[in-house]
A and B are shown apart, each in its own frame.
Chain A
């Protein structure tokens, strides 16, 4: 039986070799179908990974809370340190909360200047946002408590106005505030929709920025990190209740603040990706169906064209099931070639497109293997009827066929 399958494969390969161009054109439907599916799925994976990396830049299992205008003419009240303490103390499941403020400024060093952002944030803020210090040290308790003039620089600042390797311990000036560089943070992905380069920033203790750059003790926004064992929806509801109470919002009034939930963004992205995958699957199904019909069509033509040949095979003793197996194998081998070419095409196309639209290329073996298996199955489904027809031919009629 194995020898039989080997021989049938050999016959199928010879047949495809005899009609190279036609075989290629026949499988074009499968090639395009498979290539389209794999390319779309690969790009989808890349997109998801890209977005997830962005979300990771916001920190995982965190809420970001900032004031939001209800009346366009009235600025909403800012948060303050008391709000943050209250959130930390009163809501179970909250691991920590940290406020932040930002201000535009110009950084000076080595006689060069660079327009950037100074951001106030204590070590807790770094934790919540998953910001990593790769050189130097974090702020000391004393520096944070007293609002001392120390700073941790983003990689972009180093690149622009520092000399590589001579960063830590250097003095720099931000506007008219001079400070000592004590650390440098790792590169970060840009937050979703954020226009600023996340690497183009200088961090100082919250108190320092409040006092020296802003001139008050307000907090522009704060992050809340929670234990992932707790329900994010429940914590979010408690946050809303607590903040409404503290900000004295009447029952019929809307919130004058906004809570961004990174888990929620993640869900949304997954939903979008899910919809995209479903759409791609439908398109793939249609294109593969068309491809399969093409295969069936050519196999029927091939059976008619090779009627005499089938007659010869039957005359020299081929069994009906052997003729059927042969044509079926031909269809399957043809489809498998189509699948392989499609996978190759998708590989090239994915790399090209991913780099063109600036997405990571993520090779997904499962999709490739699945597509290949699916092509083979197409061959069986659409090759069966022509093969069956070939096997039912009468040898005498077939031999007489012109």
Chain B
């Protein structure tokens, strides 16, 4: 068999609650994501896009169906095995930045490396490199309170990048930012995508989704429509 796709979802369902109160968030999702793609997941609230992202992020397991990541069936893994999978292959960026307060940008970024038991020197070098990638090296000693929202999100992206993940999962990464900062973040994501990182992003703003190569529309727990062949980067990207 040839190289399996990076991500493969087959007939994924997810139910919450029991009996009459049960709620089926996903009703049979099929989706294939190849390496190097930049996917925007869109849809109204309650359409199942966040549930799908949680499953893709190996934070949650489906009620039924098969989720293969790099050919490995994730739903069969234990909690700790999924943790190790996230640690090795995934990076997360959240809407609310979720940086540790009163902790410098550099220390925030090196946090994931602490769980790998790497040396202090290796941690610092990797963290500085990641901060450099998002253009914040001069702000390495600043705490989140001393940074703007856009800068905080860039620190969060650096934290996701520092482990050199295969996939970056971004849940509404521009949800808390104004348009100008949002576009800067999208520029950054598009640039990272061009270096080979696969990006999965949830957004409800078409303007942001325009940066993606693939747009997946969710509705009522199902994939409604997939737009492929978007060219990553918008006219704004030309100066990059």
Interface residues of A (CB under 8 A from B): 1-4, 6-8, 10-11, 14, 18, 308-309, 311-322, 395-396, 399
Contacts and interface: CB of A to CB of B under 8 A. Distances in A.
Given A4-B115, A318-B87, 10 more contacts: A3-B118, A309-B100, A313-B115, A315-B92, A316-B91, A316-B115, A316-B163, A317-B84, A320-B80, A322-B115
Contacts, number: 75
Contacts of A309: 98, 100
B62 to A, nearest CB: 13
B79 A3 contact: no
Interface in B38-86: 54, 57, 59-60, 79-80, 83-86
Nearest to A3: B117
B159 interface: yes
Q: What are the 6 closest A-B residue pairs judged by CB atoms, nearest first?
A: A317-B87, A3-B117, A7-B114, A317-B86, A18-B102, A316-B112
Interface string B107-119: 1000110110111
A255 to B, nearest CB: 77
Given A14-B103, A18-B103, A315 B57 contact: yes
A396 B79 CA distance: 13
Chain B: number of interface residues, binned into ranges: 20 to 34
Given A10-B114, A319-B80, A3 B107 contact: no
Given A3-B119, A396-B60, A317 B114 contact: no
A317 B83 contact: yes
Contacts of A320: 79-80, 83
A308 B98 contact: yes
A312 B118 CA distance: 19
A41 to B, nearest CB: 39
A318 B163 CA distance: 13
A155 B88 CA distance: 82
A316 B80 contact: no
B101 interface: yes
A325 to B, nearest CB: 11
6 contacts: A4-B115, A18-B103, A316-B91, A316-B92, A316-B112, A317-B86
Contacts of A2: 117
A395 B100 contact: no
A151 to B, nearest CB: 76
B121 to A, nearest CB: 12
A318 B83 contact: yes
Contact of A399 (B98, B102, B107): B98
Given A3-B119, A10-B114, A399-B94, A316 B159 contact: yes
A377 B54 CA distance: 39
Contacts of A314: 59, 83
Nearest to A398: B59
Q: Give the most central of A11, A315, A399: most B CB within 10 Å.
A: A315
Contacts of B59: 314-315, 395-396, 399
Contacts of B101: 18
Contacts of A10: 114
Q: Give the most central of A2, A7, A311: most B CB within 10 Å.
A: A7
Interface string B99-135: 0111100010001101101110000000000000000
